[in-house]
Structures are given as structure tokens and as C-alpha cells.
């Protein structure tokens, strides 16, 4: 099996864990967690990010900010797979007292770099982290994943403006462009298109790729790390509910956990 094949196998396992977590919790966000899975797997297992699960506060680690915090089940599953905490903790998602809250909390769980959920705040924190690295002459990179629906928030554009102004070449913003948000298609709720031209207007070096192709993801993320001139934006075209036939591109699975019957069917598909 080649390296991309290994990543595919990891992603299937992550998707199985995500759906099992959500089923046990009885609530949470299925669609966006599944659409962002391959991006997270590429970052953590594709040789892109430098991190040490035994030293989650290592000063020179790369940072990942999940600005679309509602998709945290995917991030939790990836962090457990990477060794940041015991995988058994996954099954406590959204339970009272669990560090695996409905949105990520950096004070509760190792590997979480920013408390996010209020859309637009994550990318703002990522810009601050990138600026801090420049000021302190640190060589770490900051990766920030935002949702396409999140681009309806004005705070996002203030963050992009600051990133361009300070020439934060250590910042890569990845758009999980699945085209859907809780109320329907993004273009119908509040049209965010064209996305590429918006980032280019803020002097980001911008790429449009498939968010489910590991070759596309690894090649483009590697190129982004080599950029020393400007911040980078990667518009990753994804499918909401990716990997599960009856969830794929279905807006009704934005914030719905699978039932027992749906979980059994989904797990069978993901084997």
C-alpha cells in the first residue's frame, strides 16, 4: 500500500470513530466533520505538521486552529489517533464533565490550540499566533481551517486584512468548501462566491484543489509551507457527509447524529 493508501485507511477509521462518537452522544455535527476529515488526516499524518503528542505545549510545534469548531469530532478523533490522549475518551463526547465538548476548548484537552465555535474567532486567533511567531522569530507554521459558510462573517475579512498587512507567510488558511450550511446552500443563504478572488484581493497566494485527494492536499500544503512572501489560502472542494452515501451532500445531516440503524449502515460502508 502506498502512502496515500495508508492515509485513506486512516481516514476511514477516523470517519468510523466520528460517527460512533456522535451516535453515543446523541447529538453533534455529522456532515461537516466528515467533509473536513481528509484535510485533518493530511495535516497530521501526511508529514505536513510538526508536533509531539507527548509535549503538546512544545514551543516550536506547528499550530492547527479549527475555526469551524462545530466539526471538532473529526479533530478529536485525529488527535486520539495521533496519541494526544486515550482513544477511549472519544466515547465521552458531549457528556457532562467530559473534556470533549461540543466545541473545542483549549483549556480542557491536549492538542487543542484554540477555543472556537463562534464563527470567525478561530481565524482571528490563528492570525495572532502567526504574528506572534514573526515577532518572536519562531519558525512554526499555523494552519487554520474555516468553513465556507463561515466566510459570511465580517470578522473573517478583518483577519485576512491583518494577515496580508503583516505578510504572515507562516499562515495557511484552508477553506472546507462543501457548499452547504445549516440553512441550505451557501450561495442561497448569503452568496460567498467567488472565493478565490476574495483571497487574492487580500494578497493571499491561493489554490483551488480537491479536499479529498491526498496528492492534491499534500502537494499544496507542502508548497504553502515553502511560501515566504505572503499568507496562503487553499480552497478545498469537499463533500458534506463524505464517505457515507446517504449523508453525502445532504444539508439535513449538518447537525444531526446518526441513529443506531444509520450508524450500522454507515460503518458497513466504511469497512
Top pLDDT among 3 and 193 is at: 193
Residue 2, pLDDT > 80, answer no
CA distances from 166 to 10, 16, 125 (A): 37, 41, 14
Q: Determine contact, residues 176/33, Cβ cutoff 8 Å.
A: no
Percentage of the chain lying above the pLDDT 70 cut? 99
Q: What DSSP string describes the chain?
A: --HHHHHHHHHHHHHHHHHHHHHHHT-S-SHHHHHHHHHHHHHHHTT-----TT-TT-TT--EEEESSGGGHHHHHHHHHHHTSS-GGGGGGTT-TT-SS-SS--TTTSTT--S---STTHHHHHHHHHHHHHHHTT----EEEEEETGGGGSHHHHHHHHHHHHTT-TTEEEEEEE-SEETTEEHHHHH----HHHHHHHTT-EEEEEETT-HHHHHHHHHHHHH--SS-EEEEEE--TTTT-TTTTT-GGGSS----HHHHHHHHHHT-
Residue 221, pLDDT > 90, answer yes
List, in sequence order, every residue forming a beta bridge with 63; answer none if it has no partner: 142
Q: Which long-range contacts (CB under 8 A, 24 or more apart) does 244-250 make?
A: 244/15, 244/19, 244/34, 244/269, 244/270, 245/269, 247/30, 247/31, 247/34, 249/178, 249/179, 249/180, 250/31
Mean pLDDT of all residues in 92-108: 96
Residue 1, pLDDT > 70, answer no
Q: How many domains is the chain built from?
A: 1
**What pLDDT shows up at residue 3?**
85
Q: What is the CATH number of the domain that holds 213?
A: 3.40.50.970
Mean pLDDT of all residues in 42-50: 98
Q: Could you report the per-residue pLDDT of 119-159, keeping only the tens digit for each?
A: 999 999 999 999 999 999 999 999 999 999 999 999 999 99
pTM assigned to the model: 0.97
The range of the structural domain enclosing residue 28 comes to: 3-269
What average pLDDT does the structure give for the chain? 97
Amino acid at each position: 500500500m502506498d502512502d496515500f493508501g495508508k492515509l485513506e485507511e486512516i481516514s476511514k477509521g477516523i470517519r468510523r470513530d466520528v460517527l460512533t462518537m456522535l451516535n453515543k452522544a446523541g447529538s453533534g455535527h455529522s456532515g461537516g466533520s466528515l467533509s473536513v476529515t481528509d484535510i485533518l488526516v493530511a495535516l497530521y499524518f501526511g508529514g505536513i505538521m510538526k508536533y509531539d503528542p507527548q509535549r503538546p505545549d512544545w514551543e516550536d510545534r506547528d499550530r492547527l486552529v479549527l475555526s469551524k469548531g462545530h466539526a471538532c469530532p473529526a479533530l478529536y478523533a485525529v488527535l486520539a489517533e495521533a496519541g494526544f490522549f486515550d482513544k477511549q475518551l472519544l466515547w465521552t463526547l458531549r457528556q457532562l464533565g467530559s473534556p470533549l465538548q461540543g466545541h473545542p476548548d483549549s483549556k480542557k484537552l491536549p492538542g487543542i490550540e484554540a477555543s472556537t465555535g463562534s464563527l470567525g474567532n478561530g481565524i482571528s486567533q490563528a492570525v495572532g499566533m502567526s504574528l506572534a511567531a514573526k515577532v518572536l522569530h519562531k519558525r512554526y507554521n499555523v494552519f487554520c481551517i474555516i468553513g465556507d459558510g463561515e466566510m459570511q462573517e465580517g470578522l473573517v475579512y478583518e483577519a485576512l486584512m491583518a494577515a496580508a498587512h503583516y505578510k504572515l507567510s507562516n499562515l495557511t488558511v484552508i477553506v472546507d468548501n462543501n457548499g452547504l450550511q445549516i440553512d441550505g446552500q451557501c450561495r442561497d443563504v448569503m452568496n460567498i462566491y467567488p472565493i478565490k478572488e476574495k483571497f487574492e484581493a487580500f494578497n493571499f497566494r491561493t489554490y483551488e484543489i480537491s479536499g479529498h485527494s491526498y496528492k492534491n492536499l499534500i502537494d499544496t500544503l507542502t508548497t504553502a509551507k515553502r511560501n515566504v512572501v505572503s499568507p496562503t489560502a487553499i480552497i478545498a472542494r469537499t463533500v458534506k457527509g463524505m464517505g457515507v452515501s446517504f449523508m453525502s451532500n445532504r444539508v439535513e445531516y449538518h447537525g444531526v447524529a446518526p441513529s443506531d440503524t444509520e450508524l450500522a449502515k454507515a460503518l458497513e460502508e466504511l469497512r
